[in-house]
Amino acid sequence: MIKQTHILFIFLLVFLFGCKEDPIEPILMGSLVGEVVLEADNSPVDKVTISTTPSTSSVFTDVDGRFTLDQLASGTYTIRAEKTGFSTKIETISIFANQATNVILKLLPDTLNNSAPNIPFDPVPTDGETDLTNEVTLEWSSNDIDSDELMYTVRLYNSEQTEDIEVATGITDSMVVLEGLLYNTTYFWQVIVDDGFSAPVNGPVWSFRTGSLPDYRILFSKFENGKYDIYAGNEDGEYVRLTTNLNNNWRPRMNPARDKIAYISNIGIESHIFIMDRDGSNAEQITTLPISGYNNFELDFCWSPDGAKLMYMNNNRLYTINIDGTALSLFAEAPAGHTFTECDWSTQGRVVARTTGINSFNSLIFAYEEDGTFELQALGDIPGATGGPAISIDGNAILLTNDISEFESNDGRQLDAHIFLRNLELVNTVDLSIEKDVGTNDLDPRFSPNGAQVIFTNTSNDGVSPKNILIMDFDGDHREVLFENAEMPDWR
């Protein structure tokens, strides 16, 4: 028989060991760092709702498409990324203790539930509007039922173009500024709107027409964006660009009737004379034998007094040609070792021309009768580089330039070029550059239409500074800048 004390002892042992609790396991935590981007271009997507299963807190992506979920118990989760207009993205990830798990979620547009944007409407200028300037601001309206961000492409062409040009691509503003348009030209334009989800929507084709070119009587060239172009302006300094092709276009000359402009343009390695309407339209090449000489950008050609012909040089020969490109005729030949560089034709029929010798500073000026008969040598080879001539209305005087420093350089640099008025009958010369700034050159002088003023180019003698077009009185007084960063003036 077991004693009572033994029974009590066994009972206590059972009680003590039978009531012992299981050990408590600690909860291990990690974190999730993620980024939401577009599948197409990896650009960030903001305001995306991020949730998990098992459920934790929900967060939104920031402007960089990023989000963070802290204090996640280690284990496996399903991550869900949701935003209106996109297909929901679901991905399974694992969270590890004391680690940050990184994930990139890529969204695709939800094209099934997205509506296309509305067709663009309310064009400015209104469809068919006329008499506009050569600078036009295009505006339009468009909207989208899904409030998607809209992007626009704008196409433009005129009645002479076979293909349209995209003047704007992927812009978000519903406005485009057009500059340098042709005058007297009908333009057509179309807006294509894209919401990034649906297929782009083409708007209607609208049109507008520019008005007539203002009566600008001054022509000049400007070197911008790596090339020369032709401009027209007035005495108030207003101007517009006339040429918009990809070639260099320089040395404009207005015809006597003031409805056509001749100019030089390079075609491949050759330079030719072109004629266009006064507003820059209907350009066509006139010459087949190129204009050429010592330096093609220094060459100067001229119109005949009746506007039926042009006179230009091909090295040592001076030619006339009808403005339709026919009847190329030899007018004069330069002395041995010389090439023609400049010429001018007075309303009275007298022709003056300058030749250049082996060096750019070796120059001679000759006068001819209208049929090409030699008349006289208007200027011999004087010290210093010489430029011109431009002949007066009556044919009795010429404007020319001469570097009075007598500096003679093979690279053509001049140090102190002045403009001179030389009377061919009296053989006297007057200096018109009496107010010229020291260290500059006066070049390319031309008479004003009434002969009361002179228009010319002035530039620093360093050879790299901008050139400006100035006007002054016939006696050299009242010099003032008319156009900055411009050269090769003509005034008709």
pLDDT at 340 over 90: yes
Q: Domain ends where: 153, 186, 210?
A: 210
Using alpha carbons, select from 408, 363, 413 the residue that is nearest to residue 387. Answer: 363
**What's the CA angle centered on 349, arms 345 and 350, to 5 degrees?**
65
Residue 111's pLDDT band (cuts 50, 70, 90): low
Query: Taking residues 229-236, what's their average pLDDT?
Result: 95
CB 371 within 8 Å of CB 359: no
Query: Taking residues 247-258, what's their average pLDDT?
Result: 97
326 found inside a domain? yes
- Residue pLDDT, tens place only, 21-60: 555 566 789 999 999 999 888 999 999 999 999 988 899 9
pLDDT at 8 over 70: no
Distance (Å, rounded) from C-alpha 343 to C-alpha 449?
18
Q: Quick one: 124 exposed, middle or buried, by C-beta within 10 A (0-12, 13-18, 19+)?
A: middle
Residue type, position 112, single letter: L
pLDDT at 19 over 90: no
Which DSSP state fits 7?
Answer: H
Is the bond leading into 54 cis (omega within 30 degrees of zero)? yes
Using alpha carbons, select from 191, 172, 195 the residue that is nearest to residue 124. Answer: 191
Q: Is residue 224 domain-shared with residue 191, that is, in the same domain?
A: no
Question: In degrees to the nearest 10, what's the CA dihedral of 466, 459, 378, 410?
Answer: -80
Q: Is residue 268 domain-shared with residue 157, that is, in the same domain?
A: no
Q: Is residue 290 domain-shared with residue 231, that is, in the same domain?
A: yes
Q: Residue holding tokens 């062409």?
A: 157
pLDDT at 246 over 50: yes
427 found inside a domain? yes
- Residue pLDDT, tens place only, 261-275: 999 999 888 999 999
The neighbouring-strand residues paired with 318 are: 313, 332
The neighbouring-strand residues paired with 203 are: none
11 found inside a domain? no
pLDDT at 422 over 50: yes
Laid out side by side, the sheet with 397-403 consists of 386-391, 397-403, 417-423, 429-431
pLDDT at 11 over 80: no
Q: Is residue 134 domain-shared with residue 100, that is, in the same domain?
A: no
Q: Is residue 51 domain-shared with residue 163, that is, in the same domain?
A: no
**What's the CA angle centered on 345, arms 240 and 249, to 5 degrees?**
30
Distance (Å, rounded) from C-alpha 236 to C-alpha 382?
37
CB 231 within 8 Å of CB 222: yes
Distance (Å, rounded) from C-alpha 482 to C-alpha 485?
10
CB 272 within 8 Å of CB 283: no
- Residue pLDDT, tens place only, 272-301: 999 999 988 889 999 999 999 988 999 999
CB 408 within 8 Å of CB 363: no
> What is the secondary structure of 226-277 as a DSSP string?
TEEEEEEE-TTS-EEE---SSS-EEEEEE-TTSSEEEEEEEETTEEEEEEEE
Q: Which residues of 398-410 are buried (b: 16+ CB within 10 A; e: fewer)?
A: bbbbbbbbebbee
Both tokens of 279, joined, read: 């507003």
Q: Is residue 138 domain-shared with residue 82, that is, in the same domain?
A: no
What pLDDT does 171 receive?
96
Distance (Å, rounded) from C-alpha 20 to C-alpha 352?
125
Distance (Å, rounded) from C-alpha 212 to C-alpha 132?
9
pLDDT at 109 over 70: yes
Distance (Å, rounded) from C-alpha 398 to C-alpha 431?
12
Query: Taking residues 358-384, what's their average pLDDT?
Result: 94
Q: Is residue 89 domain-shared with residue 172, that is, in the same domain?
A: no
118 found inside a domain? yes
190 found inside a domain? yes
Query: Taking residues 169-182, what's their average pLDDT?
Result: 92
Number of domain units in the chain: 3
What pLDDT does 9 receive?
46
- Residue pLDDT, tens place only, 70-108: 999 999 999 999 998 788 999 999 999 999 999 999 998
Residue 313 belongs to domain with CATH number:
2.120.10.30
Distance (Å, rounded) from C-alpha 472 to C-alpha 453?
6
Strand pairing class (129-132; 206-210): parallel
What pLDDT does 23 receive?
58
Both tokens of 479, joined, read: 């010099």
Q: Domain ends where: 112, 146, 162?
A: 112
Q: Residue holding tokens 């939800």?
A: 110
> Dihedrals φ, ψ of 133, to 5°?
-80, 180
Give residue 234's domain range.
218-491
19 found inside a domain? no
409 found inside a domain? yes
pLDDT at 159 over 80: no
Q: Is residue 134 domain-shared with residue 260, that is, in the same domain?
A: no
Query: Taking residues 160-186, what's their average pLDDT?
Result: 88
Average pLDDT in the chain: 91
Residue 148 belongs to domain with CATH number:
2.60.40.10
What pLDDT does 307 receive?
97
Q: Is residue 204 domain-shared with residue 268, that is, in the same domain?
A: no
15 found inside a domain? no
Q: Is residue 199 domain-shared with residue 311, that is, in the same domain?
A: no
Residue type, position 372, single letter: G
What pLDDT does 199 receive?
85
Q: Is residue 104 domain-shared with residue 157, that is, in the same domain?
A: no
Lowest-confidence pick of 3-17, 219-233, 236-250, 375-389: 3-17
pLDDT at 322 over 70: yes
Estimate the share of the chain in helix, then strand, then coil, as percent rounded to the nearest 5.
Answer: 5, 50, 45
Using alpha carbons, select from 369, 250, 375 the residue that is nearest to residue 305. Answer: 369
> Dihedrals φ, ψ of 7, to 5°?
-65, -40
What pLDDT does 145 receive?
84
Which residues of 278-424 form beta strands (DSSP E)? 284-285, 302-303, 309-314, 317-322, 329-333, 339-345, 351-356, 363-368, 374-379, 386-391, 397-403, 417-423
Q: Would you give the end-to-end CA distance of the chain in angstroms?
A: 146
pTM across the whole model: 0.69
Above pLDDT 70, what percent of the chain? 94
pLDDT at 185 over 70: yes
Q: Is residue 472 domain-shared with residue 458, that is, in the same domain?
A: yes
pLDDT at 391 over 80: yes
Q: Domain ends where: 70, 95, 112?
A: 112
